[in-house]
Chain A
Amino acid sequence: MIVWHAAALACKGLAATPIRAVVVVFGLALAMGLPGMTVRTASHIEAVMVERAVRTPVLIAPRGSPFEVTLASLYFRGEAEPRVPFFVAAQAVTRGYGSAVPVLVGYRASGHPLVGTSADYFEARGLRPVQGRLPAVLGEVVVGAGLAAQAGIAVGDRLRSDRVRPYDLGTSQPVELRVVGVLGWSASPDDEVVHADLLTLRAIEGILHAHEPAGSEAAPGLGASVFLPVDLSPETLDRVHAHGALEELPVTAVLVFPPDDRRRDQALGDWADHPELQAVQPERVVSVLVELLVRVRDLLLAWSMIVSGCTLALIALVLALWRRLRERELALLRTLGASRSWIALLVAIEAGLLLGVALSLAAGFAWVAPVLLLGALG
């Protein structure tokens, strides 16, 4: 009964000063949750990075530092010059190293990252559309779940490719892209990009194009053929063509998915002596990055603990002042005959309620922080 009465009084006391209670609760929650948020966010980034790297056993990339090309082709971050001929993918398959998927990055559609690849990519990454379907013909794209939700993109929408070379009006023209599907949530970088077939990106580059011959209705009196704005609508697809061998054109990297470790090692060895290309093991590249991340995390953790300590000290000061302001109330309770244990119970319940709510919030902050932070950062 006494606990019940003390709890009732404590609740009424807290409810009477809601702003003070909310400030203390949020201050406590942030102070207690900050280290957890730091650790969980870093761990989440680490897990996503490592998982992605582990699921991509081999990467065929140009010779040089493997970091840029790994970040660009696995995580769609940064830029890497496309210098791997497209036919390398076919070579890898022919040599029995499992499925090989070309990846071309560095393009954008309506401001969003656009990745060119083949249909095998979705199979290899386990990506399935939750709305619509995967791209089947030129000009069709599928959008990652996170991007679709964030930008409000749905099946049937149209995106426009950003110009590859903004000041060269004669070559690439913006291409209208049809959204035919939205991928399911995968908690990976695929959630934040637009995927298209590699040939669609060739059209954006202007390599796949259509033109009217000189003297035709579209180009009357001109002595040369006229480039037409690239129209990848189903009615005009048969007029789109390329000059030269498409398989010679470069991609950013080729992702190879060997069926076992032996063939992975063979693939790594096969390109070891290639003068222009190398086989990279993304897991090793990422382990270096993760090591760096761990150091940063430790530094952030140390800082967050200092900040938390200062915040807790401030809150202790606020609570001490609060206690002082309530001295008259406690004196009245003593005057009426309240025992020390009754008053201690009242204070403990109040503190417990504040601490309990703050701890729950802190746990919540730590739990959702990675999602919110990474979502905000894109």
Chain B
Amino acid sequence: MSRLAIHGRDLLLDRSARGPSWLVPSLEVSRGERIALCGPSGSGKSTLLSAFAGRLAARRGSLQVEGCELVGASEAVRRAHRLATMGQALQDAEMISYLSTVDNVLLPLRLAGRPVGAAQRARAHDLLARLGLSDRQHSRPSQLSHGERARVAIARALIAAPPLLLIDEPTASLDPASREAALDLLFSAEGTVVFATHDPGLIARVDRAFDASIWREP
């Protein structure tokens, strides 16, 4: 097994033909490392996370994530790989509207066809409790604030204990206490964690930080 969780080389990314593009000559992230993609808004942090997750296909180059070459892989392969190896907390903290908080957290297990029993529910309850959401376990998304939904998204990313976590702006909508609880939980997770953030406090805690704007093509 490679010691690298992410290995990119000569990676060319763009969201549309007329939009900006990013060229990443070389990027290596070791297993267990915590890194941050930082930079101002529009610098490409979320775009890079999308590429690592296989949601955005690179136009050329090579991108190996958890042992799978994503460039040139079919969408089905990328989706299956994403489900098997990654936990994601997206910036918009989207949730399924008709599911309770706990059921939203358990969603990745259901999608992967893994059992959802008492043990998994207990883990979901524990994650939510550690994120300060003990009293919101059975709430619907419409009853939650944006900050609460962001914490549910973090619990959802962690539920399957994946080897790679891709966390987009985890602290943007959190109060200081919630922020600390969320970061403590994420930093205690096993596996590799990639943050997209411009939170200086978070950047100070990671092993390495990259300014995504240096890869943006003029």
Contacts and interface: CB of A to CB of B under 8 A. Distances in A.
A344 to B, nearest CB: 12
Given A1-B115, A339-B80, A332 B110 contact: no
A262 interface: no
Nearest to A326: B97
Nearest to B79: A337
Nearest to A14: B98
Nearest to B95: A332
B111 A5 contact: yes
Interface string A2-21: 10010011001101110000
Contacts, number: 62
Nearest to A16: B98
B79 A8 contact: no
Given A5-B116, A336-B88, A339-B79, A13 B108 contact: no
A332 B79 contact: no
Q: How large is the interface on A (under 10, 10 to 19, 20 to 34, 35 or more residues)?
A: 20 to 34
A16 B90 contact: no
Interface in B111-126: 111-116
Interface in A332-346: 332-340, 342
B94 A342 contact: no
B198 interface: no
B128 to A, nearest CB: 18
Contacts of B82: 336-337
Nearest to A342: B111
Most buried by B among A1, A5, A13: A5
B83 A328 contact: no
Contacts of B156: 336
Contact of B80 (A2, A8, A332, A337): A337
B75 to A, nearest CB: 8
B133 to A, nearest CB: 19
B86 interface: yes
Contacts of B95: 332
A337 B166 CA distance: 13
A332 B96 contact: yes
A329 interface: yes
B91 to A, nearest CB: 11
A2 to B, nearest CB: 4
A332 B93 CA distance: 10
A165 to B, nearest CB: 70
A337 B113 contact: no
Interface in A103-121: none
A335 B50 CA distance: 9
A254 to B, nearest CB: 70
B110 A9 contact: yes
Interface string B41-68: 0000000000001010000000000000
Contact of A336 (B76, B107, B114, B116): B107
A332 B111 contact: no
A333 B55 CA distance: 12
B108 A337 contact: yes
B88 A338 contact: no
A333 B83 CA distance: 10
A329 B80 contact: no
B169 interface: no
A333 B111 contact: yes
Interface string B2-22: 000000000000000000000
A338 B111 contact: yes
Interface string B171-182: 000000000000
B99 interface: yes
Most buried by B among A17, A332, A337: A337
Nearest to B97: A329
B148 interface: no
A337 B83 contact: yes
Contact of A12 (B53, B98, B114): B98
Nearest to A8: B110
A335 B88 contact: yes
B110 A335 contact: no
Given A1-B114, A5-B116, A329-B96, A340 B76 contact: yes
Contact of A17 (B98, B108, B110, B111): B98
A332 B94 contact: yes
Nearest to A333: B111
A349 B86 CA distance: 27
Interface in A295-346: 328-329, 331-340, 342
A29 B15 CA distance: 46
B96 A334 contact: no
A329 B141 CA distance: 12
A305 to B, nearest CB: 36
A5 B107 CA distance: 9
Interface of A: 1-2, 5, 8-9, 12-13, 15-17, 328-329, 331-340, 342
Query: Which 3 pairs, one residue from A and one from B, show the smallest C-beta to C-beta distance?
Result: A337-B83, A16-B98, A5-B110
Interface of B: 53, 55, 76, 79-84, 86, 88, 90, 94-99, 103, 107-108, 110-116, 156
28 contacts: A1-B113, A1-B114, A1-B115, A2-B113, A5-B113, A9-B96, A9-B99, A9-B110, A16-B98, A17-B98, A329-B96, A329-B97, A332-B94, A332-B95, A334-B79, A335-B53, A335-B90, A336-B83, A336-B156, A337-B81, A337-B82, A337-B111, A337-B112, A338-B79, A339-B76, A339-B83, A340-B76, A342-B111
